[in-house]
Structure 1
């Protein structure tokens, strides 16, 4: 509209000013704001893509950070205790060999089955040594289901949030397992160490955790010599159970592998449902139950 004096109204005379924020905002300022917003948005998008890819690679590294587990467990078993020296461990080793030299022949006579080599496969270990041995065992166990489970929980294109949830669960799971092994490492007296799922059918080893055996003998107020003999008898009996009956190890290994396959990428409905349930728990979509608890059930 044109006024009588020939001038245009202010609203029509400055269309660019009205469009970009009012008569006081120059057009070039509005253009720069738009460009800056575009650049910031692009930078954020690129950063999110890079972070998402890095998180995806990190999430695919595994369900457990085994170095973290071992570090936490060893630190826990060594906290507040200087431990035994190598000289003390070697001295105790001789005492256990003497005890087993008495125990093994009597067991062989009572069971009617010889057990060659078990004395040579006995070791006196520190708490930290026990942790190292059992981290290897747990790692072998978890690796059986880790691949198929990771395929479920780290899906292609799942995004930064899904990968971050898996990484967070790995952090929690690693600490849970580290504290568990640290707790057990301060209490286990002896162990017949056999890898059921190992490709090599090596004979098991007898491990005597001397620090815990001494501490328990003091707490019970019993003589250390007879107590060592009792522990040696107990653990050697486990060795007889496996090594005097060759069918037992492959039987247990087969049953364990069959159980673990339920959590693998099998064609059976039960296996798929169990795997999906664990995957939901790892992604934080479950009912509060940890994925380790589901495996143990």
Structure 2
């Protein structure tokens, strides 16, 4: 029997998992033997990535850091549903407190199924896109996940050398594992900031109508212009500032991982330049529907995080070297501010003054 939490009162997460597993697209066709070989290959690539990443980033994961795990799409959905549930508990607590009347059991069940179905559909869409992820697991054990079917699908679509591409992906994801394990305070800091922002974004009953009106007015222009997620459309100026601060850190993390994976260089990954060229083209998205979903879900902004973050990291390293850049991990106060992502010299001046 599942434990009742504030989140499960509003979202049926088991139904979300079932919905996600039912809706997720089938992965590339492989025989059982090929699947076993892919899992073994990705696992070996993850282990091989640890040395070059530590040497390049000059950060070392502690010995007790959880090892990377290789998963399929269904497992990715289940683990992310658990993390989403834990992350959203404070949000649901606020929603419950703001209700003037407690809904009955039947109404809660219907609401939970509807919300669970929506969450499951979102997870199904994302499960076919993600190559790897460091799961912060707010109330559980964090772990690096590598999604084997997606890695195989992309290497086939782009005509890449499987050995090189799998190692390249693992370089990026291993960098995330190092970031969150070598920097002890970073995981709790990010979980707290994201939870705080999510709670703040929940409208009070008095302001709900104003929020919906703002969304209805802004959505058509946002869809046409692109690059704006739904959160941006309903946030106040203060909330946008808080969102920009979280986005700046995400840009740092993604950009740093991109720089490390490329800096490892052809001596470890012979086709690294070719992989980067082909992969950057893929990141732009495929058809019109895919681009629309990326805009509404904020994934266009996610793509900019890789580019802007990498530019910031390279700008800082060019000025003060890797050791000087690693001052960024000293404390939350040394993380880049939103305006510094586009002006790495401003971060250098503030931190190294």
TM range (shorter): 0.5 to 0.7
**Which one of the candidate residues 68, 81, 96 is aligned to 2:15?**
68
Instruction: List per-residue Cα deviations over 1:74-116 (Å, max 9, x = no partner).
Output: 011255877774x654433321233234321122222333224
Aligned-pair distance for 1:214? 0.8
Aligned partner of residue 124 in structure 1, secondary structure:
strand
Deviates more, 1:232-241 or 1:253-262: 253-262
Mean Cα deviation higher: 114-123 or 248-257: 114-123
Separation in structure 2 between the aligned mates of residue 222 and residue 185 of structure 1, nearest angstrom: 21
Structure 1 vs Structure 2 CA RMSD: 3.7
1:77 to 24, 41, 47: 24
Gap change, CA 1:111 and 1:155, over 3 Å in 2? same
1:191 corresponds in structure 2 to 133
1:275 maps to 2:213: no
Q: Do the aligned residues in 2 keep the contact of 1:152 with 1:279 (CA within 8 Å)?
A: no
Residues 119/223 of structure 1: CA separation in 2 closer, same or farther (3 Å cut): farther
Structure having the larger proportion of residues in helix: 2
Partner of 2:118: 176
Selected match of 1:247 from 168, 179, 185: 185
Could you tell me how far apart the structure 2 residues matched to 1:227 and 1:212 are? Answer: 12
Match of 1:218 among 131, 139, 156: 156
2:99 counterpart of 1:153: yes
Deviations 1:36-78 (A, max 9, x none): xxxxxxxxxxxxxxxxxxxxxxxx9622121221111001125
Equivalent residues of 1:193, 1:207 under 8 A apart: yes
* Equivalent residue pairs, number: 216
TM-score of the aligned structures, taking structure 2 as reference length = 0.51
Measure the CA separation in 2 of the matches of 1:194 and 1:99: 22
1:259 paired residue number: 197
Say which of 57, 80, 84 aligns to 1:138: 84
Residue 98 in 1 paired to residue 98 in 2? Answer: no
Q: CA 1:114/1:286 → structure 2, altered by over 3 Å: closer, same or farther? A: closer
Note closer, same or farther for the CA distance 1:83–1:140 as it changes in structure 2 (3 Å cut): farther
Q: Which 5+ residue runs of structure 1 have no aligned equivalent?
A: 1-59, 264-270
Partners of 1:78 and 1:128 within 8 A in 2: no
| Bigger Rg, structure 1 or 2 | 1
Q: What is the Cα deviation at residue 276 of structure 1?
A: 2.2
| Contiguous gaps of at least 5 residues in structure 2 | 1-6, 217-228, 236-353
Instruction: Provide closer, same or farther for how the CA distance between residues 289 and 88 of structure 1 changes in structure 2, counting only shifts above 3 A.
Output: farther
Alignment CA distance shift 1:242-1:159 (3 Å): closer
Using the size of structure 1 for normalisation, the TM-score is 0.60
Match of 2:59 among 83, 107, 113: 113
State how far apart, in whole Å, the 1-side matches of 2:123 and 2:206 are: 26
Query: Retained in 1: the 8 A contact 2:87–2:191?
Result: no
Check conservation: 1:69, 1:178, Cα contact below 8 A.
yes
Contact 2:72 2:147 (C-alpha < 8 Å) held by counterparts: yes
* Secondary structure at the counterpart of residue 24 of structure 2: helix
Deviation at 1:279, TM superposition (A): 6.6
Show the counterpart of 2:144. Answer: 206
C-alpha distance in 1, partners of 2:30/2:101? 46
Q: Residues 276 and 244 (structure 1 numbering): CA distance in 2 closer, same or farther, change over 3 Å?
A: same
